Amino acid sequence: MTHRLSRRTERLTSSLIRDILQITQQPGVISFAGGLPAEELMPDLDFDACAADSRQYGPSEGEPRLRALIAQGLSGLGLRCQADQVLVTTGSQQGIDLVGKLFIDEGTPVLLESPTYLAALQCFRVYGAAFHGLPLQVEGIDPDALKAAIVRHRPAFVYLIPSFQNPSGCCYTDAARRAVAAVLDETGTPLVEDDPYRDLVYSPCDRTPVCAYLERAPWVYLGSFSKITAPGLRVGYLASSPALFPWIVRLKQSSDLHTSRIGQAWLTHFIASDDFEKHLAHMNGVYAERRNTMQFALVRHFSGLAEWSAPAGGLFFWLRLVEDVDTLAALKVALTHDVAFMPGEPFFPVADQRYPALRLNFSHATPEKIEQGIGLLSEVLSQCCET
């Protein structure tokens, strides 16, 4: 039997990260590959108190109390926003998908950081986006380069992860945030700001959303509860400038009617309780220790092999290798030593901006495993450099 599939489906590639995750979940493998939060830090999910009210269909926009709490939280960050501008999504990944549906036709130009979040590339690619990469520097993207790229490519939107970027860990300075916002306002270019890591913070740094600095340009802000509670709940959210919002809600309706009411009810209860702040503080303490452990282990084992800076928050180290190593081949060797990392290559939106790099997650493995795994990995990489 032959199937006639859409052109969109033919563009689908399997996600390398999901394929690798399957291998790395085997017992005995020390994995720095996925972006997994630590299970032992996830709060207990007690649905007893919320299940009865959550059985019936609910509003597409999300539960009113949760939307109000989210709007309040965003306003606290400086992003002036009302509850009626908030949509609860099935993970922030759904927000990325809705944005893709909203803005992208075949060949639509999109500007993104280079490197950037793999699953956003995968999603926008399915809708037919034509990518243009903005090289990431220590302080964020260069506002002049942004302006030049906007003038040249006229993108439908710019997709940025300004706080503890995936994969690079980069956190934009406040000056860079303001300068980027000024360029977007001047050119009227929509911003899609993806911000799932902002509450995972280990050293002081600027985290005001770029959207908060916009005065004119349309915007969509994406947030998530995955990294700070439990990704299995699949609850995230988006907020947008008022003119875009009704379109996004209609797209959400046609996608899944609404996000699970049980997950929303549990989260509403949890984030309104005193336990939430305590939980965040504890999680950040544990992750800060793991980040420090990885930093010390890298200094011991990777000096001369790679360049990096310790991230101030989020879940990842990004190592730029000094030599031109084939990181996909290196991963295969690493797996035979029971250690895994994420090769940098698929995170680049365009091939000519690629350089050899690794992404290492530090939230999931214990400090002992981090020490051991970084030692193993440096041996693998040293071998690959010699050959």
Binding site for ligand PMP (CB under 6 A): 35, 91-93, 117, 161, 166, 194, 196, 224, 226, 231, 236
Nearest to 374 by CA among 30, 19, 1: 30
Closest to ligand PMP by CB, 63 vs 195, is: 195
Q: Supply the minimum distance, in Å, between the C-beta of residue 384 and ligand PMP.
A: 27
Residue whose Cβ sits closest to ligand PMP = 91
C-beta closer to ligand PMP: residue 122 or 226? 226
* Residue among 302 and 317 whose Cβ is closer to ligand PMP: 317
Query: DSSP per residue over 120-181, as a string?
Result: HHHHHHHTT-EEEEEE-BTTBS-HHHHHHHHHHH--SEEEE--SS-TTT-----HHHHHHHH
Nearest residue (CB) to ligand PMP, 263 versus 356: 263
> Which C-beta is closer to ligand PMP: that of 41 or that of 322?
41
Q: How far is the CB of 332 from ligand PMP (least distance, A)?
A: 23
Q: In whole angstroms, what is the distance from residue 379 CA to residue 341 CA? A: 13
Smallest distance, ligand PMP to C-beta of residue 313, A: 13
Least CB distance from residue 286 to ligand PMP, whole Å? 19
Tell me how far, at minimum, the Cβ of 37 lies from ligand PMP, in Å.
10
Handedness of CA 97, 103, 105, 106 (dihedral sign): negative
CB of 27 to ligand PMP, least distance (A): 23
CB nearer to ligand PMP: pick between 226 and 327: 226
d(CA 170, CA 319): 12
Distance CA 26, CA 139 (A): 37
The widest CA-to-CA distance across the chain, in whole angstroms, is: 62
Alpha carbon distance 128, 103 (integer Å): 11
* 135 cis-preceded (ω within 30 degrees of 0): no
